[in-house]
Amino acid sequence: MQFAQLKRREFIAAFGGAAVWPLAARAQQPGGRRRIGVLIASATDDPEFQARMAAFQQGLAQLGWSDGRNVRIDMRWATTNADELRRHAAELAALAPDVLVAATGTSTVAPLLQATRTVPIVFVVVIDPVGAGFVASLARPGGNATGFTMLEYGQSGKWLELLKEIAPRTTRVAVLRDPAIASGIGQFGAVQAVAPPLGVELIPVDDREAPEIERAVASFARSPNGGLIVTPSPSASRHRDLILALAERHRLPAVYA
């Protein structure tokens, strides 16, 4: 499978077919049902990820794979807790599936690769899989992981340029990112690189815990000419309703990935 850059509107369609790649090669082999393990860094009741999982199953069905008939899908919902993700990744690998799906980017690829170096892993919405150490190169991934990239780091700098176009008086920008993952550090670095020419001071905000986000944004908003950039991460997705509410409450012009 070649790497692909995914736009938001293309994500669900690609996600539905992503796990079929290793299965298709073995679909003609005799034997019982195939098995797919899916690791999701999200709460079980999250409507966005429920919709993504439904689209995933629908995409498989359209390609002839029906859960309960010729394939079994084992899903593990682990929120964004690192210990839970590692535990669920080990559980899925122990089931000896035909393929594993890292459904929510970096936070799910890393624990799955720790759990197995032999079962094929298909990932989606990963930023910089080479820099994260998941693959050797985009042209020749090597190893047992492959999939789709979401964006290039250079795009992160464009978010700041866009914010300045929307709100020219902006001189201070809070950047929500997850410093525990490589993509969070890389995205902040890309925004940081374009900040000086635009005359903008950046303030990094850890987006992992709701109380920290609320306190940091409230403190930031006490001074004028502020704006907000939210980089993509599982934790930002989990706290998206809070982040949207804070931006509205404090009247912060904002750009979301």
For residue 225, count other CB atoms closer than 10 A to its CB: 14
pLDDT higher than threshold 90 for residue 92: yes
- Domain covering 153-256, topology: Rossmann fold (3.40.50)
Same fold, 8-149 and 153-256: yes
| Topology adopted by domain 8-149 | Rossmann fold (3.40.50)
Residue 225 backbone zone (phi > 0: left; psi -120 to 50: alpha; other: beta)? left
φ, ψ (nearest 5 deg) of residue 101? -115, 120
Q: Residue 17 class from Cβ within 10 Å (0-12 exposed, 13-18 middle, 19+ buried)?
A: middle
Domain layout of the chain by residue ranges: 8-149, 153-256
Q: How many whole angstroms separate alpha carbon 141 and alpha carbon 138?
A: 6
Rounded to an integer, the average pLDDT of 184-213 is 93
In the chain, the largest separation of any two C-alpha atoms, in whole Å, equals 67
pLDDT higher than 70, residue 122: yes
Range 107-119 average pLDDT: 95
Q: Residue 166: what pLDDT?
A: 94
**Collapsed DSSP state (helix, strand, coil) of residue 141:** coil
Residue 31's pLDDT is 55
60 within 8 A of 19, measured Cβ to Cβ: yes
